[in-house]
Amino acid sequence: MSAPRRDPTPSRRATDGARRLRDLVVGRDGGPRPDHGRLDAFLVDWHRASGTPIGFDEWCDPAARYLGAVFGPGADLAVIEDAVVAFAHARAGADHSAAAVAGDLVALARLAGPGAGPEWDGWIDPLGLLARALGAWAAERVAVASSVDCVDPATGLVTARFLERRLQELHAQCDALAISPPLTFGSVVVQLGLGAVAASERVAVRVAAGRILAERFRAGETVAALSSSRTVCRMAAVMPAYGVHRALADVRSGLAGMATGEGVEQAVVRVPFGADAGSTFTALVHSPVG
């Protein structure tokens, strides 16, 4: 079941998805059709390499076919990342396990490994690809008790309680796959000092900051409103570790342009994952910033 904040811009996503499917069928700008024979052969090899017990016709859904079509050296990595997220979402919706999704992507990466040709060597980070997929899978699969329980009414972001459950899912996936949580996932924590802000403007500051974070994280990250008081507001975004450095710059830039709430003290820091879900959650909620 999907998180309440699964897709802040469904109409844009739907439009992009329709355009990409059209490009897959007719070619970009009305150009030549892609080589479907080569794609079909690649998909058959991928299915065989995955070792899945699912038959090819069921396994090769539109999301798998699209990922297979865009996957390759020289491709736009942002397009591949979007395809990986769509693949993970589709697999989660079809009740595939995290291990099955990981197995599919590991098989895909192996097809692009040593022996595939010099143009394939080192063109993509398999661990980063897997982290993005697992994060997107978890976003679809975390059970939501109710929107009141899981969505902060002021910001529209998920709550700390939801984030705690999400972290349990992410750490469980790392344990199952024998990969390091601190090397696979990371987080950005935002803390706003509201002590010098007029009481009438505090909610507006929270709303504006929440909107800035929501606009900058659209690819399966979890963005949560952790706490808010008269003097402090704290939010966090959880994502694959490779994306944290860029996210820090993006968030700082966005908050610097926030038009509301004069006198807001801003701190944006990287908080690494711990060895288990409990220590990660404690760090996100209580680690000192500034």
Distance CA 156, CA 46 (A): 39
At 118 the pLDDT is 55
- Nearest residue to 190 (alpha-carbon basis) of 240, 255, 242: 255
Q: Please report, in tens digits, the pLDDT of each residue of the chain (290 residues total).
A: 334 444 444 344 444 444 444 444 334 444 434 445 678 888 999 999 999 999 998 899 889 999 998 887 777 888 888 999 999 988 887 878 888 999 999 899 888 655 555 555 566 777 888 888 988 888 777 643 344 468 888 888 889 988 998 899 899 888 888 889 999 999 999 999 888 887 778 888 888 899 999 988 877 789 999 988 888 899 999 999 999 999 999 999 998 877 666 678 889 999 999 999 999 999 999 988 76
Q: At residue 43, what is the residue type?
A: L
- Nearest residue to 274 (alpha-carbon basis) of 265, 290, 285, 266: 285
* Structure-token match 């999301």, residue found: 63
Task: Looking at the chain, list the stretches that DSSP marks H as alpha helix, in order from N- to C-terminal side.
Answer: 10-26, 36-50, 56-59, 62-70, 77-93, 98-111, 126-141, 147-150, 160-177, 181-184, 202-216, 244-256, 277-286
- Nearest residue to 247 (alpha-carbon basis) of 168, 190, 175, 170: 190
At 116 the pLDDT is 53
Sign of torsion, CA 45 50 53 59? negative
Q: Which residues pair with 159 in a beta bridge?
A: 225
At 149 the pLDDT is 65
> How many residues does this entry show for the chain?
290
Cβ atoms within 10 Å of 235's Cβ, excluding its own: 27
Q: Assign residue 227 a region (left: φ > 0; alpha: ψ between -120 and 50; beta: otherwise).
A: beta
Domains of the chain: 10-141 (no CATH), 147-286 (3.30.70.270)
Distance CA 277, CA 172 (A): 8
